[in-house]
Amino acid sequence: MTNKAPPVKNLKCTDENGITGESYSLDKKYWKEHVRTQRENAGEPYIVPQSGVICIRFPPEAVGKHVRVYVEV
């Protein structure tokens, strides 16, 4: 098994307003979600503050790996 993720398949989709776009299907064998690990909100996803800046510290095994950021709509 390789540790490099295969090409992402683009899935065409149309939302409830009739707007067409693309979504991505991530294979959990290659991609891992990183959530907060400290303080009272540990285990929750990151929320973008008014400043638009988020600092994420990744574990050592993430060094050199690809990162993709998705925003929930």
Q: Provide the whole-model pTM.
A: 0.49
* pLDDT the model gives residue 7: 61
Q: Which pair of tokens denotes residue 36?
A: 């907060």
How far is it, in rounded angstroms, from Cα 37 to Cα 35? 6
* pLDDT the model gives residue 9: 66
Could you say which DSSP state residue 61 is in?
A: G
How far is it, in rounded angstroms, from Cα 4 to Cα 26? 13
Q: Which pair of tokens denotes residue 14?
A: 């149309």
How far is it, in rounded angstroms, from Cα 54 to Cα 3? 27
Rg over alpha carbons for the chain, rounded to the nearest Å, is 15
Q: What is the pLDDT along the chain (73 residues), one digit of tens a residue?
A: 456 666 666 677 777 788 887 766 777 787 888 788 788 888 888 888 899 898 888 888 888 888 888 777 6
* pLDDT the model gives residue 1: 46
